[in-house]
Chains A and B, each alone.
Chain A
Amino acid sequence: MMAVAGRETAGLEFDALVKEHRAMVFSLAYHFLHDRGVAEEVAQEVFLSLHRNLDRVESAEHARFWLRQATVRRSIDEARRRKRRPQLALDQVAEPAAAPFGRDPMLGEALRRLIAALPEAPRMAMVLRYQEDLDPPEIARVLDMPVATVKSHLHRSLTLLREKLARRGVGEA
């Protein structure tokens, strides 16, 4: 048993969980919300919620899954509540500046903007796929949706991004 920020729990130490998972939790919120300040608020709420529910967490793997799912839900709630970023169709987003393909520092930001403009479900599916490197069944578990729906979101989002970039001549020759 360990003391966990004033609590005790079997084998899981709260401060260690924060240190281990802070980048994962913060980045999920940040890539979904595209706002550092709001993402930190969401990440803090998620960890405080974990602190309140720590006695229900059974293992380190369960903690990771719990944090991912809680972050997804809180990020979606936050996006709906604040409505800071109006939902735009992908076609309405400004296209990235033309640049030769390669290690283009602008391309990363352009991709983040394009993803931030996707609707909620495909946006979170893309973030979980490429930030967390989860496969479609794992994404389906976190998002609580059918695997076929996740695959469809990923496929359609990639197709849209490819089209958007190709219009500006960004892509493989």
Chain B
Amino acid sequence: MDWLEQELKRALERKEPSPDFAARVSAAARRGRWGSPRRWMAVAASVAVLAGGGVGYRWREGVKAKQQVMLAVRIAGGKLNRVQAHVLEVTQ
């Protein structure tokens, strides 16, 4: 090995990363396994949207059913009025 190769070995000898590198990598590995807080927040937001959507759907269906019942009552009421008027005509 000549002088240049010896200088290259010196110039390219291993260096240490930041002192907290190993701790950061281990923490990131654990986060990767259990999911990052951001990932959990995204999951929670999705659940909230789905649950909210379910509640909204049920509320809209309830309103629709109520409107149908009211319509049926109005139709039935109209028919009863006509029957009552007819009965009155006949009896008089």
Contact = CB atoms under 8 A, between A and B. Distances in A.
Interface residues of B, number: 27
Contact of B3 (A19, A44, A101): A101
Contacts of A48: 25, 28-29, 32
A111 B15 contact: no
B30 to A, nearest CB: 5
A8 to B, nearest CB: 12
Interface of A: 5-7, 14-15, 18-19, 22-24, 26-27, 30-31, 39-40, 43-44, 47-48, 51-52, 101, 107-109, 111-112, 115, 126-127, 129-131, 133, 158, 161-162, 165, 171-172
Contacts of B4: 158, 161-162, 165, 171
Identify which of B8, B12, B17 gathers the most chain A CB atoms within 10 Å of its CB: B12
B14 interface: yes
A165 B11 CA distance: 14
